[in-house]
Amino acid sequence: MNFTRWSARLPGTQRRAAARTEQTASPDRRGEGSVPAARVERLTDESPSVPAVDELRVREVLDRVPSLVALVHGPDHRIAYVNDAYTTAFGVRPLGERAREALPELDALGLFPLLDQVQRSGKPRTVKSRKAPDGRSYTFTCTPVAQGDGKGGSDGRGVLVFATDVTDHAEAAERLRASERRQRETAVTLQRSLLPQELEQPDDLRIAATYHPGGTEAAVGGDWYDVITLGGGRTALVIGDVMGRGVRAAAVMGQLRTAVRAYARLDLPPHEVLQLLDGLAAEIDANQIATCAYAIHDPNEGKLIYSSAGHLPILVRDENGTVLRADEPTGPPLGTGGWMHASGSIPLAPGSTAVLYTDGLVERRDADLDEGIAALERALAGATGTPQVVCDRLVRSAGVTPDHDDDVAVLVLQHPARTGADGELFRNAALELLGGVEAAPRARAFASGVLTSWRFPADLHDLGVLATSELVANSLQHGTPPMRLRLRRTDRRLIIEVTDGDDHLPRRRRAEPGDESGRGIAIVATIASNWGSRRTPGGGKAVWCEFALPRTQST
């Protein structure tokens, strides 16, 4: 094989050859003012000879470059040339042989389809960082070259394979990727450890949740959810998203989640919880804001009371399949300050399903956010089954995969429509207390009759009547009308609650031996499993206590 014929058609070779011809002929065309040729010869004799790049033989250049070079020609890619670097890397290669048999390293790298493509199209192609059988990584550039006669045709075309050793760069890139993977794994581990390890399961709700970290190319964010049993049958539900990435976002999320649980124990309205959380978020990190939705479910009200700090709307599917979207009020994200949050409500009747979620479930780069929420509404309308089944269906319908580019958190809750024997385990009874000296004995008689009809054992019956008497007496002494007694049983507990129009919350205190009063709340706290109080919307308060039912009663 005559390498010179092939080298004459390498890109730029003809142009440089023409330039040399023009420079050689130019002295003969000079006018009278030109420098004499003899003087040019003298200068050449006196100066050392430095050959121009165009005067170097292509083969001599390619033999000396440290990169791997091979030249193949014809439709079956027969070997025309390999340089010394190529031979050092892969051994001697016989000229004239088919490359598919004689260059197995190219076959192992999957380069033969690329050679065919370059030969057909006449355009160069590059593949980056391919690991060769020798264990090193190379970037391959395949350039078309034509035979010296320039007549074209597939038989007259070859491909110059130029491989640059990028092992150091590839190893550095792999070390960087490994470091990023470790950081991501740390963030995911931290994120998961800060989420609830086991969701609280209230008496009146069925709840499931899921969390999906972003794909390997996306840093982990600060999505979180929580379920908090408030007592008295009430439940707080939380969903949030820290607007950041990595370990820092997860750490901020953990602090906010802890703060939400602490504020929830105060049993404040949702907007007051977010107001407190807003100030704390600014103190934690003024550069990282977060969105959050906080909702409270009270089984006696049949609705969710909620407040939102820049978060996406809660969706509720009723028992007929109609999906409602929670309206305003919503405020700016946490940490921005200067905003008074407000609470709203959305119905959650028996048979309903509610969904709280983060933006990773509905936000896409190529679609409007409202379109994503509308798609979620359609998916929820047809999603039936347990909360976990609904959770999984919504995630699948949104196209969330392991390579998803954002975190996803979803919290699904159902308020079951209980009937039959199951319905007998969930009962309510209420009595309006008109005040006066007859209110206390009427309340005791009412509670005794209700607890007897609910077939409670004698000891629990007596404790319930005693707690009712003390709570009513406390309200009659310190509260104002209107007053109401409510008894509620679930499959796990008996709840007794008294509401009145005064917003002064009672506290447990130690009564002195000579005191005529002040022992009521202490008695209730002693005999009940739990007790508490809260202010009610529109003024007033509710004081409650609960008794855990024996296992035989709860089943």
Those residues whose C-beta lies under 8 Å from the C-beta of residue 242, and which sit 6 or more positions away, are 221, 222, 223, 224, 249, 250, 252, 253, 256, 288, 289, 290
| φ and ψ at residue 425, rounded to 5 degrees | -80, -10
The predicted structure's pLDDT at residue 449? 97
How large is the average pLDDT for residues 186-203?
80
Q: Which one-letter DSSP state was computed for residue 510?
A: P
Q: Kindly report each contact of residues 112-115 with a partner whose C-beta sits within 8 Å and lies 24 or more positions away, as own/partner.
A: 112/77, 114/140, 114/142, 115/72, 115/77, 115/142, 115/159, 115/161
Q: How far is the C-alpha of 339 from the C-alpha of 388, rounded, in Å?
A: 36
The secondary structure of 12-62, three-state, reads CHHHHHHHHHHHHHHHHHCCCCCCCHHHHHHHHHHCCCCCCHHHCCHHHHH
Task: Pick from 15-19, 53-57, 346-350, 435-439 the range whose average pLDDT is largest.
Answer: 346-350
Split at pLDDT 50, 70, 90, the class of 48 is low
- The answer to whether residue 33 scores a pLDDT higher than 50 is no
- The answer to whether residue 554 scores a pLDDT higher than 80 is no
Those residues whose C-beta lies under 8 Å from the C-beta of residue 507, and which sit 6 or more positions away, are 521
- CA R_g for the chain: 40
The predicted structure's pLDDT at residue 131? 86
Amino acid identity, position 104: P
Split at pLDDT 50, 70, 90, the class of 403 is confident
DSSP 257-284: HHHHHHHHTTT--HHHHHHHHHHHHHHH
pLDDT digits (tens, 9 = 90+) for 60-119: 788 888 889 999 998 889 999 999 999 988 989 999 999 989 999 898 888 999 999 998
Question: Which comes out higher in pLDDT, residue 103 or 244?
Answer: 103
Which among 56, 54, 59, 89 is positioned nearest to 71, based on CA atoms? Answer: 59
Which among 345, 260, 258 is positioned nearest to 296, based on CA atoms? Answer: 345
Between β-strands 541-548 and 493-500, what pairing exists: parallel, antiparallel or unpaired? antiparallel
pLDDT digits (tens, 9 = 90+) for 496-544: 999 999 999 988 766 555 555 567 899 999 999 999 999 998 889 999 9
Those residues whose C-beta lies under 8 Å from the C-beta of residue 68, and which sit 6 or more positions away, are 83, 85, 86, 89, 90, 138, 161, 162, 163, 164, 165
How large is the average pLDDT for residues 42-53?
55
Q: How far is the C-alpha of 391 from the C-alpha of 106, rounded, in Å?
A: 49
User: What is the share, in percent, of the chain residues with pLDDT greater than 90?
Assistant: 48
- The answer to whether residue 192 scores a pLDDT higher than 90 is no
The predicted structure's pLDDT at residue 42? 45
The predicted structure's pLDDT at residue 171? 81
Which among 426, 424, 419 is positioned nearest to 492, based on CA atoms? Answer: 426
The predicted structure's pLDDT at residue 496? 97
The tokens for 29 are 């065309």
The predicted structure's pLDDT at residue 511? 57
- What pTM was computed for the model? 0.69
The predicted structure's pLDDT at residue 216? 56
The predicted structure's pLDDT at residue 219? 55
- The answer to whether residue 12 scores a pLDDT higher than 70 is no
pLDDT digits (tens, 9 = 90+) for 286-314: 778 899 999 999 998 889 999 999 999 99
How large is the average pLDDT for residues 471-490?
93
Question: Which comes out higher in pLDDT, residue 355 or 6?
Answer: 355
Q: How many CA atoms lie within 13 A of 449 on its CB side?
A: 9
Question: Which comes out higher in pLDDT, residue 232 or 1?
Answer: 232
Split at pLDDT 50, 70, 90, the class of 281 is confident
The tokens for 233 are 């049958």
Q: Is the peptide bond before 329 cis (omega within 30 degrees of 0)?
A: yes
pLDDT digits (tens, 9 = 90+) for 417-457: 888 888 888 999 999 998 777 899 999 999 999 999 999 99
The predicted structure's pLDDT at residue 19? 46
pLDDT digits (tens, 9 = 90+) for 128-176: 888 888 888 899 999 998 865 444 454 568 999 999 888 888 888 888 8
User: What is the share, in percent, of the chain residues with pLDDT greater than 70?
Assistant: 84
Return mean pLDDT, the chain. 83
Q: How far is the C-alpha of 58 from the C-alpha of 165, rounded, in Å?
A: 21
By the 8 A CB rule, do 450 and 389 touch? no
How large is the average pLDDT for residues 240-261?
85
The predicted structure's pLDDT at residue 34? 43
Residue found under tokens 């030969």:
119
Amino acid identity, position 109: L
| φ and ψ at residue 330, rounded to 5 degrees | -140, 145
By the 8 A CB rule, do 137 and 130 touch? yes
- The answer to whether residue 245 scores a pLDDT higher than 90 is no
The predicted structure's pLDDT at residue 198? 87
The predicted structure's pLDDT at residue 447? 97
